[in-house]
Amino acid sequence: MATKTEQQWQAELSADDYRICRLKGTEPAFSGIYESCKTSGIYHCKCCNKALFESSTKYDSGSGWPSFWAAINEQHIKQIHDNSHGMLRVEVVCAHCDCHLGHLFEDGPQPTGLRYCINSASLTLNSKE
């Protein structure tokens, strides 16, 4: 995949999606279209369409963002240490296009104990329904 310029990303994405996906922003809690979504399917990267999460691993974390206890393939996600905003966190980005997805926490349910806390704006759901 060819690398896009910032101008190309700005032309392709809405202003809010660009702020979240490319500038590492965060959508307000409980505002994203997938936060309470129960539709079966595969969640893909908004920027490059790489398959990232299955609806079967999505759960209600109460955090206000879509949460998943596992990625489809760990090689599709990059983990980056993030100490912005006075916090120590693990940022997750698409390994294919560097789209900012959200953060990874170790307070999720079993079997992994992980919570991928992801912005709806970073995702596109391909429904099985």
Give the homologous superfamily in CATH for domain 6-127: Peptide methionine sulfoxide reductase. (2.170.150.20)
CA distance 78 to 100: 10
Q: Residues near 48 by Cβ (< 8 Å), separated by ≥ 6?
A: 1, 94, 96, 97, 99
Tell me, yes or no, if 117 is annotated catalytic.
yes
**What digits encode the pLDDT tens for the residues 30-48?**
999 999 999 999 999 999 9
From the candidates 21, 47, 94, 117, give the one annotated as an active-site residue: 117
Instruction: Name the pTM for this structure.
Output: 0.93
**What digits encode the pLDDT tens for the residues 63-115?**
999 999 999 999 999 999 987 767 788 999 999 999 999 999 999 999 999 99
